[in-house]
Amino acid sequence: MATFHVKLFFLALILFCMIADVCSRGPVYKPPSVERLTDRFSRFTVDKSYDFAFGASNIHVTNNGTTAALSLDKSSGSGLVSKNKYYYGFFNAAMKLPAGFTSGVVVAFYLSNANIFPHNHDEIDIELLGHEKRRDWVLQTNIYGNGSVRNGREEKFYLWFDPTQDFHDYTILWNNHHILVLVDNVPVRQVAHTPAIGSVYPSKPMSVYTTIWDGSEWATHGGKYAVDYKYAPFVTTMRGIEMEGCISDRRNVTNNLSPCSRSGISSLDPVDGELFSQLSRQQSGAMAWARKKHMFYSYCQDKIRYKVLPPECNAN
């Protein structure tokens, strides 16, 4: 009789998990308090800041241009590209991700100049990777500089919230001092501009992209689980657009001339100035929390892939 009750209890627990979709997720941690850098800049509408990059029929702009829904179906993914190119800046998108079975689906918010420098391009990535079992999205960050595309510098994190239930801010800060990746204003990764990283540090003007696409070949366990289109369309919704930085003069892009970059710290520059030159003590503590609690892969710890670790891994 006791065995029957135990079985009944576990059956009820399984049913609850299936309905509430909570048992698949890991521990939920409350993030440390941090300054909301996203409150320092104005937010723009989609039509003022982006053009359609691909899959125009799968992009729907609503709410007077403040919100965009990008979808992936069997016919196409979709993407937006910024109207301007930047030498550096503060870039944000608040996104709500597709729910349910999303293996192979990739939602990306990133900077790139591959369309202008195809063989030696720069790129700073926030990629959100759908998952097949836990139903947890994985946050992957990556950085390429001057064509270092064969040597990715990936780091992967589990999020401390369900990104399908509400909008969350995903932010890239890129300036002459460092690159920061932030989630809801919590820094999760910093890449310092030091001699150790050298020419790999992104240096040429880049566009800002927001995309959703089929990453079946690699996104989930190296391509083990492909996108299942019986669950399509997969829709990500974006708002909260922020783009503040040094806008490139299109005539000077190929000459790599920056009229507004600074070699030193200037309090007059809203993105390259003192406030954004280094992490505060509060931000450093929050980043340590995120990396300890939520990071599960870093290229600097991958001694199988890298027989000799990249020099910036040993810089500190």
For residues 299 and 62, give the distance between their C-alpha atoms in angstroms, rounded to a whole number.
Answer: 39
Q: Are strands 138-144 and 123-129 parallel, antiparallel or unpaired?
A: antiparallel
Annotated active-site residue in 35, 123, 154, 312:
123
Q: Is 127 a catalytic site residue? A: yes
* Helix or strand (DSSP H, E) at 214: strand 207-214
Range 275-286 burial, b when 16+ CB lie within 10 A, else e: ebeebeeebeeb
* Active-site residue (options: 35, 127, 155, 217): 127
Question: Helices (DSSP H) in the chain: which residue ranges?
Answer: 2-20, 46-49, 281-294
Instruction: Specify whether the CB–CB gap between 158 and 296 falls below 8 A.
Output: yes
247: helix, strand or coil = strand
Planar angle of CA 41, 92, 47, nearest 5 degrees: 85
Look up residue 67 and give its two tokens: 């919100």
- What ranges make up the beta strands (E) of 77-206? 78-82, 86-96, 105-112, 123-129, 138-144, 155-158, 168-174, 178-183, 186-192
Determine the Cα–Cα distance for residues 299 and 19; give it in Å rounded to an integer: 37
Residues 200 and 267: their CA atoms lie apart, in Å, by 27
Collect all residues with Cβ–Cβ distance below 8 Å to 280 and sequence separation of at least 6: 35
Report angle CA 242, 212, 301 to the nearest 5 degrees. Answer: 85
- Catalytic residues, by residue number, are 123, 127
